[in-house]
Structure 1
Amino acid sequence: MSYQNFAYFYDNLMKEAPYEDWVDFVKEIAGKHSLSGRNILDVGCGTGELATRLTKEGFQLTGVDLSEEMLEVAMAKAMDAGVSIPYFHQDMRELSELGQYDLVLVFCDSLNYLDGEEDIKKTFAAVSGHLKKDGLFLFDVHSLHKMETLFNDQVYADNGDEVSFIWNAWKGEKPYSVQHELTFFMYDKQADAYIRFDEDHEQRTYPVEDYLKWLDESGFECLEVIGDFHEAPLDTAERIFFVCKMK
C-alpha cells in the first residue's frame, strides 16, 4: 500500500476523527492502572496528530510509522506546535532499538492494514520487546459489525475549497475485509486547476476471540475489551479497544 500522496491528504480525510476521545482514553487507562511513567510509543503514528495532542497533555511521545511521507507531515506538525517528538521510520512488525515504554499504542485501526494472522502476531511480539514490565499495550481495530455494514458498498465524499475527495468502500474478497478506493482533488493555485490523486487501500479485521488468542500466544494478558471508548456494546460497536499487559 502506497502513502506517497495519501499522507498529505490524510488529515483532511480524518478531520472528524475522535482524537480527543483517544487522548481521554489514554489518560483514563493510565490513571486507572497507576502507571509509574508517562513514556509512550505511538506505533503507526501517521501524521502525528495524536502524538502531538498527547505531548501537550504531559506525556513523552515517540512515534513510529512505515510511511516516510506520513512522518514528514508529523515532524512539520510537531515543529508548528512547538513540541519535541522523535519520529522513526520502522515497520510495526519489526520494531527495534526504540527503548522501553510505559504505554505502547497502536490506534486508528492501524493493525487492520496488516496482511493476516502472522503479521499481527509479529507486531504483538515486536511490541512486547518495547514494553516495560508493568507497562500497558493499547490498540484498537475495526469491528466485524463495521466491516459488514458500514463499509459495505458505501460512498463518502467531501467538497472542500482546496481539497475534495470521493471515498468508495466495498466488501473485500477475504472474510471481514474491505477495499477502499480514494480519489482526491487538490487545487493548484499556479495552474488554477484541480489535480487528481488516486489511492487504493485494503483493511481486514477478525473476531475478538482471534485477537485474544493471538495475544495469549504472544505472552499478553488482555485486561479489558471495550467498544467505542466505553460507549457501545461489543456487538454494535464500530471500533474495539484492547487493554493488555505482559503475563
Structure 2
Amino acid sequence: MNQAYSEFASVYDELMTDIPYDAYIDIIDVAAGGIDGKRVLDIGCGTGLLSMKLAKQGAQVTGIDLSADMLVVAEERAQSLSLPVQFIEQPMQQLEGFADYDIAVIAIDSLNYLSNREDVLSTFRQIHSALAVGGKLIFDVHSTFKTDVIFMEGPFTFDNGRITYIWITEEGEELHSVYSELAFFVKSESGLYRRFDEVHTQRTFPVSDYADMLMDTGFSIERIFADWEDEAPHEESERIFFQVRK
C-alpha cells in the first residue's frame, strides 16, 4: 500500500491549484480559536500543501499519509521552506502513537478513499484517542449528490499545456461510490509525452450517517456546512464539512 500514487505524486500539486487552501486555514482558525501554537494532525496530507500553510501560521504540524511518494514531496517542501513539519507514513484507519493534539484535519475528501463503514469508524476512533479533551476534528467529504450525479456526468478532461488527462467514471460496487480510471499524459522537456494510468475508488455516506458515526465514537458535533460557505447542506451541495469536538 505504501506505493500508492507513486506517479500521481509528481503531478498532484499542479492538479490542486483550484483548491482554496487559504479558505481551509480560515475554517480551521475559526473552529480552533486560533492556530498559532496548536498541535495539529494533518491526516491524508498528500504533498503537504495544507501542512505548510498551517506551519506558517505557527502550528506544530504532523502530517500523515498512506503514500510514501507523496510524503517525499512533502518532506522536500518542508525542508525548502525551513518548516519543522514531521511526516509519518500510516493509513488513517490505523492511526496510532499520537496523543494530546489540539486539532485533527482530514482535508479535500481524503476520507472518501475509505471504502467501508468500519474503516471510517476506526479512523474516527483513532482520531478521538489522539486528541486532547476539547480538541477539534475538521474534515470534508463528497456529498452523495456529487458521487451519484456529478461524477456520473463524465468522462472529464484536463489540459494545462504540460499535463493532460482523460478521466472516466462509473458507479462503484458500494452505495454512493465512484470508480475512476484516469489516463495521464505528461509533457517532458523534449516535447514527448509520458503516459501513466491511475485507478481510484471513493465512497461517501449521507450526512446523517457521518453524524451517527461521529457521535458513536464520542464526538460532539459543533457545525455541519457545505461548499465553503457557512450554510447548511442542501440536496445539491457538493462538499460537506464537519466540525466536531472531543
Query: In which range does the TM-score fall when normalised by the shorter chain?
Result: over 0.9
Equivalent residue runs for 1:1-247 within 5 Å = 2-31=4-33, 38-189=38-189, 192-230=191-229, 232-235=231-234, 236-246=236-246
Q: What CA distance in whole angstroms lies between the structure 1 residues aligned with 2:156 and 2:75?
A: 29
Matched to 2:199, the amino acid is D
**Aligned mates of 2:49, 2:78 — CA distance in 1:** 9
Kept after mapping to 2: 8 A contact 1:112/1:205: yes
Aligned partners of 1:151 and 1:178 also within 8 Å: yes
Q: Is the 8 A contact 2:25 2:54 kept in 1?
A: yes
Runs of 4+ in structure 1 off by over 4 angstroms are: 34-37
Q: Is the 8 A contact 1:41 1:64 kept in 2?
A: yes
Query: Alpha-carbon deviations, 1:13-48, whole Å to 9, x = none?
Result: 2111121111111112122xx789511100110110
**Identical counterparts, % of pairs:** 38
Q: CA deviation at 1:50?
A: 0.6
Instruction: Check the 8 A contact 1:35/1:102 in 2, yes or no.
Output: no
Shift of 1:98: 2.8
Read off the aligned partner of 1:227 and give its amino acid letter.
A
Answer yes or no: is the 8 Å Cα contact 1:153–1:168 preserved in 2: no
| Partner-residue secondary structure (3-state), 1:4 | coil
TM-score normalised over the length of structure 2: 0.92
Instruction: Deviation per CA, 1:144-200: give whole Å up to 9, x if none.
Output: 12112211132332223332222223332321111121111112335x411100001
Alpha carbons 1:176, 1:206 under 8 Å: kept: yes
Letter in 2 for 1:30: A
Report the RMSD for the aligned CA atoms in angstroms.
Answer: 1.8
Moved more, 226-235 or 236-245: 226-235
Q: Residue 173 of structure 2 aligns to a residue in which SS?
A: coil
The code of the aligned residue for 1:209 comes to: S
The answer to which of 132-141 and 156-165 deviates more is: 156-165
Q: Distance in 1 between matches of 2:202 and 2:226?
A: 19
SS at match of 2:152: coil
TM-score between the two structures when normalised by the length of structure 1: 0.92
Give the 3-state SS of the residue equivalent to 2:118 in structure 1.
helix
- Partner SS state of residue 129, structure 1: helix
Matches of 1:90 and 1:206, distance apart in 2:
23
- Provide Cα deviations, 1:194-247, integer angstroms capped at 9, x if missing partner: 11000010001011111111111111111111112225541222111111112x
1:125-144 Cα shifts (integer Å, max 9, x gaps): 11011100111111111011
Change (3 A) 1:164 1:81: farther
Q: Name the SS of the counterpart of 2:97 in structure 1.
A: coil
- Structure 2: runs of 5+ lacking an equivalent: none
Structure 2 counterpart of 1:20, one-letter code: D
Secondary structure (helix, strand or coil) at the match of 2:149 reads helix
Query: Retained in 1: the 8 A contact 2:99–2:132?
Result: no
- Asked if the contact 2:36–2:59 (Cα under 8 Å) also holds between the matched residues in 1, the reply is no
Summarize the Cα distance change of 1:170–1:18 in structure 2 as closer, same or farther, 3 Å threshold.
farther
